Amino acid sequence: MLLDRLKAPYGAFQNHKRVGRGPGSGNGTYAGRGMKGQKSRSGGKIAPYFEGGQMPLQRRLPKSGFTNIFRKKIAILNIQDLEKWDLGSLEVNLETLKKNKRVPLQSQVLRVLGTGDLKKKLTIKANHFTKSAKVQIEKAGGKVEVI
């Protein structure tokens, strides 16, 4: 088969409808738009959310909740994650975790949870530790520092 002999299968292409080309074309006079009205005019498009003057859905639904502008973004760190990761240092804090892309960059507060086991001797600086996390870290020979 040669590229210059390729041909589209039958029915793959249809001629587009040529409207407004006189009465003999079958789509003359009003060009398939009907008589008068907004949709017959050029630029007479109606937005998909317009409901014909009825109160729109987004205005009929009740408002709910609020956005707390003072909310702090909390990064959650499990002990088992520290065991898996090789952070390259013995001191772990929010900045080192952000630098190694282990927590979201927008995080402002670091919380350490005690899920899993820890065998590495690490110094961890965070805003909050659970009781089980403190126990796990100190049992492994590490230090806990609350910021």
pLDDT tens by residue, 92-101: 889 988 988 8
| Identity of the residue numbered 75 | A
Answer whether residue 87 shows pLDDT above 80: no
9 vs 3: CA distance, rounded Å: 15
Query: Can you give the pLDDT at residue 130?
Result: 93
What are 112-142's pLDDT values in tens digits? Answer: 998 888 888 888 899 999 999 999 888 888 8
**CA of 125: how far to CAs of 54, 77, 85, 128, 146, in Å?**
58, 12, 17, 9, 6
Contact 40, 19 (CB under 8 A): no
**What does the alpha-carbon distance between residue 75 and residue 58 come to, in Å, rounded to a whole number?**
34
pTM as predicted: 0.54
User: According to the model, what pLDDT value does residue 89 have?
Assistant: 73
Task: Tell me the CB-side half-sphere exposure of residue 103, using CA atoms within 13 A.
Answer: 24
Name all domains of the chain by residue range, CATH numbers in brackets. Answer: 74-146 (3.100.10.10)
pLDDT digits (tens, 9 = 90+) for 9-37: 999 999 888 998 988 888 888 998 989 99
